[in-house]
Structure 1
Amino acid sequence: MKLFTEQEAPLLRALGKLNYTNPFTPERLELEEIILGRPPAPERRVWNMHDGARGTREDVTELAELAKHWANELRRRTELPGVKLDGTALDVAEPVVIYHLFEKHRAAMTAQMLNSPDETRFPCYDEFAADFDYFLNRPGRRLQCSYEPERTFAIYFQIHRAFHHIFDFLIGGTLAAGKLRAEVWQSLFTVDIYRYHRALYNRMQEINTLITGESGTGKELVARAIALSQYIPFDARSRRFRTAYPGCFRPVHLSALPQTMLESELFGHRKGAYTGALSDRVGYLEACDPSDAVLLDEIGEINAEVQVKLLRVLQTRRFQRLGDNAEREFSGKIIAATNRDLARACREGKFRNDLYYRLCSDTIETVPLRDLTGGSPAELEKFVDILAGRLLGEEESKRFLPEAMEWIIRHLGAEYPWPGNVRELEQCVRNLVIRGSYTPAPPAEPAENAERPELERLLSRCTLSADELLRTYVGLVRRRAGSCVKAAEQLKLDRRTVAKYLPPEP
């Protein structure tokens, strides 16, 4: 007798794959369609855990109930006489149980994460461990598990933090926003989460991440989401994680510091290393736990001497304090960010090739505001709502939001490209609060040439299809022209043809 029928197998496999699928890719929606037997709502082209009121979507709750049913049913069937627990059956059953345990304990873990973020002790582990043994570690009738409960618990907590921080820091319902969230998820769990679980969960700090993108597109937010969502080991005996996650992010704004102070911030110094060094100092690199991440913001601005010292850290993970010969070890993760084209800077001799190649093993390109909103007033309103809430508070921002959106649409238009990205939108909101109007700054003279390096970079790769090349060029012309109508005139195309090659709206 088999553990499940051939008719049940596709649903069980799809349920199990929810554990190992990047939730921000189209595959997640496809799996939900298979499991629930219905397509997602027509307006839902990007997966989201929450409904509009920040509650959990009904689909997510329904999936959790279905996983609960099948986890208990599979356990019941393993007790029946004559049931064969062969490798194929176990490979299908284990992920279903793992997904059930993830959903069952999500509320308790998320509540402690949000309400007591600095607390490292998690008493809820006892109930989790009991459930883990109940389903997966029964002598003689063991389903199957690839790793021990405490590592599973630690990875669950990492996934909960990743969901929370990616959603909170990277908003937007367009395909471009969904793609950015998917890339951040891959930076944490890689493209193959099976491999991550087996071999990489405690080694991802050895892989550097480079975040690029226009100024004001949230590179630090991406870095923060990654840093606060890294793997933190859990000790089952003490019921404690090794460190509290809010302290895992250490940003250093490189261009804001003179060289001596910059090196002291990064590497530390000994007393007397330079004028004003009155005592020993521990730098960011030395203070890092393996679960910590240092953000090197504006990495493209550092001079050649600091580049050499950073290269040594990335190559050997060792460094010296200023004025000291003792070797010290860096055990955390490096995240670098820049709005410069580092490949071009390398060609021009302004940035070291070897440092660049050490940085770009994992790259993320942030998305400009014009693509995050896709020209949709509803998407733009999400950003205005957040910015107004920070300035006015929740109650007053509700009163302000309709008048702000009305002014923006009437005077700037839904397709205004926001060249200053979120920083410009924030300035617009502040101007509307204070003066009731906003005047965009005139475009800089070299704006025409500013996009040329980006286009040159894409063309030099020789990997664009003809359709992608058209989309890229039409998008550049549209941004410079300011509207589809003007772009169509310049390209000598029909407006509908121009719209066809622009990124789709949600």
Structure 2
Amino acid sequence: MTEREWDFLETVARAAFANPFGETRDDLDLLIGGAPPGSSPQKILDSALSRVAAQVESLRARGLADLQGQDGQRREVLRRFCLFHVFHRYFDHFDRLIQAQLKEGDKPCRVSFARQVLEELAGFGLAEQEAERAFAVFYQLRRAFYFIKHGLVGSSPSMKTLRRHLWDCVFTHDIRWFEAGLWDKMEEFSILLLGETGTGKGAAAAAIGRSGFIPYDPARNGFTESFTRNFVAINLSQYSEGVLESELFGHKKGSFTGAVENHEGLFSRCAPHGVIFLDEIGDVSIPVQIKLLQVLQERVFFPVGSHEPKRFSGRIVAATNRPLDEMLLDGKFRDDLYYRLCSDLVTIPPLRVRLREDPEELDNLIGAILCRLAGQAVSTREQQLVKKVLKRDLGQEYEWPGNVRELEQAIKRIILTGRYQGVKREKGKGDAADRLAAVLREGALNVEELLTAYCAFLYDRYGTYEEVARRTRLDRRTVKKYVQMGEKD
């Protein structure tokens, strides 16, 4: 193998598991395919895959495409190169499998192309067990791409960042760690989603939940679970404390009035590689928080009225639109639960921020919502009619306090009535960016006033003291002081 060929293999190996929503993968695809600058993403990918396929045939012809007898870094580079080739040959098959599984529901579909993929992997020298795990990872990679791409519409910088972030929540920021042993241990990594009401926290959670690892079972020629069963959501705010404990942990017959039979709670019903989404985690009482903490710490829980522990082997994703920073300071949310929940914090951007970053975001969202409502693609004319009404009734500076959820309801109301008047907000609320821009233009701020205006702006944008503290490198108490000073102004 020439040095040039080896450099090519190393480049493909780097691309094999690079975050597809990141710039690094785009640059690598350009480098692999040699497509001219300005080419469409599809042409760039097609060029890359064509060159990889040609290199595979060249290696096979010389007997250099076999992993048997290879070791160390050389084997790893060749392995990733081969995996890249096989995965991209079948990603259309995986997409059709995903769509079929969505229609089928909780019963796992048979995988008609599994034998072909496994035979190709074996042809490159992968052992049977290694090939089956690679096949399962292929399915996981494609599901993650599918649900992150289609579940989170938008091309604004903050949405691109969010998609990259969610991918890392599924595979870690370096997939070598995932492959080396974390692929079946991601339940140890809980995720906390932060964002205003209606921003899409549920969609982000579903993208993570439907993208977990699911083993392939050759005996049944399919995967052990349907991904539709791997994600279960519950809104914690809609239950009273007693009912909530029963919903989460289950109860034993006779444990309370009305408990006429045993009941399996959400944690019992969760699939082995599943995700439970706890929405509105900021609304639960301290006693329930303590029980949730036990699940996270010890991976066990007790049904109401039972002393027999049950094991939970799934992953937890939680979300809130409440200021957890304040609740932590006030003792309304336990610090230990907070730190157990936030292996990573993911902030979902509000719609007003997305529209400021990219005005075309509105067109993308209108098109996606109309398509979902109609069950098929809609014409540009219909999209422009909706946009025209929004511009007429709301103007260009509307803040969208209900975010994407409000936009969907606005579109429904326009379809029914031909108008939408919006939600009136308190004067001054949500305009921290304008205030900051105005005082900067005046050029008369002292340091404290500048910090006050900047912290207020960041809090208005990101919604939590913790995120502001992270960005300013101030502690949370200092951030809270400046934000409150800004509110008084």
Q: TM-score normalised to the size of structure 1?
A: 0.81
416-425 vs 283-292, which moves further: 416-425
C-alpha distance 313-408 of structure 1, shift in aligned 2 (>3 A): same
| SS of aligned partner of 2:207 | helix
Q: 1:380 aligns with which of 332, 340, 362?
A: 362
Distance 1:277 1:85 in 2: 62
**Does 1:451 find its partner at 2:454?**
no
Tell me, yes or no, if the aligned pair for 2:349 and 2:462 is still in contact at 8 Å: no
Distance 2:70 2:255 in 1: 67
Letter in 1 for 2:79: E
Q: 1:6 aligns with which of 3, 27, 47?
A: 3
Tell me, yes or no, if the aligned pair for 1:343 and 1:356 is still in contact at 8 Å: no
The equivalent residue for 1:26 is: 23
Q: Deviations over 1:120-173 (max 9, x none)?
A: 432322111211121225xxxxxxx89710000000000111111111101111
**Does 1:177 find its partner at 2:159?**
yes
Letter in 2 for 1:17: R
How far is the alpha carbon of 1:302 from its aligned partner?
A: 0.3
Distance 2:297 2:73 in 1: 43
Q: Deviations over 1:290-345 (max 9, x none)?
A: 21111110000001110111111111011111111111111111110101222321
C-alpha distance 131-206 of structure 1, shift in aligned 2 (>3 A): same
370-379 vs 286-295, which moves further: 370-379
The equivalent residue for 2:261 is: 279
Tell me, yes or no, if the aligned pair for 2:393 and 2:419 is still in contact at 8 Å: no
Q: Deviations over 1:373-413 (max 9, x none)?
A: 44544321121122223444537665532211223334544
**Does 1:106 find its partner at 2:91?**
yes
Give the number of the structure whose residues are more often helix, by fraction: 2
Distance 2:59 2:332 in 1: 61
The equivalent residue for 1:15 is: 12
Tell me, yes or no, if the aligned pair for 2:351 and 2:403 is still in contact at 8 Å: yes
Q: 1:133 aligns with which of 90, 98, 122?
A: 122
Task: Structure 2: give runs of 5+ residues left out of the alignment.
Answer: 431-455, 475-481
C-alpha distance 31-269 of structure 1, shift in aligned 2 (>3 A): same
Any residues of structure 2 matched to 1:227-242 within 5 Å, and which? 227-242=209-224
Q: Deviations over 1:247-292 (max 9, x none)?
A: 1111111000111111111000011112211110000101122211
What is the aligned-residue RMSD (CA, Å)?
A: 2.9
Letter in 2 for 1:128: V
The equivalent residue for 1:342 is: 324
Task: Structure 1: give runs of 5+ residues left out of the alignment.
Answer: 49-56, 138-144, 466-472, 481-489, 491-506
C-alpha distance 226-434 of structure 1, shift in aligned 2 (>3 A): same
The equivalent residue for 2:315 is: 333
The equivalent residue for 1:92 is: 77
Tell me, yes or no, if the aligned pair for 1:188 and 1:226 is still in contact at 8 Å: yes
Q: 2:240 aligns with which of 242, 258, 261?
A: 258
Identity of matched residues, %: 34
| SS of aligned partner of 1:90 | helix
Any residues of structure 2 matched to 1:193-208 within 5 Å, and which? 193-208=175-190
| SS of aligned partner of 1:221 | helix
Distance 1:196 1:111 in 2: 26
Any residues of structure 2 matched to 1:26-425 within 5 Å, and which? 26-38=23-35, 41=38, 57-78=42-63, 87-117=72-102, 118-137=107-126, 148-374=130-356, 376-394=358-376, 399-425=381-407
163-172 vs 338-347, which moves further: 338-347
Aligned length: 444
Q: Deviations over 1:212-270 (max 9, x none)?
A: 11111100101111111100111233322111111111111100011111111100001
How far is the alpha carbon of 1:362 from its aligned partner?
A: 1.8
Distance 1:108 1:431 in 2: 39
| SS of aligned partner of 2:305 | coil
Q: TM-score normalised to the size of structure 2?
A: 0.83
| SS of aligned partner of 2:3 | coil
| SS of aligned partner of 2:212 | coil
Distance 2:217 2:291 in 1: 35
C-alpha distance 13-79 of structure 1, shift in aligned 2 (>3 A): closer
How far is the alpha carbon of 1:40 from its aligned partner?
A: 5.1
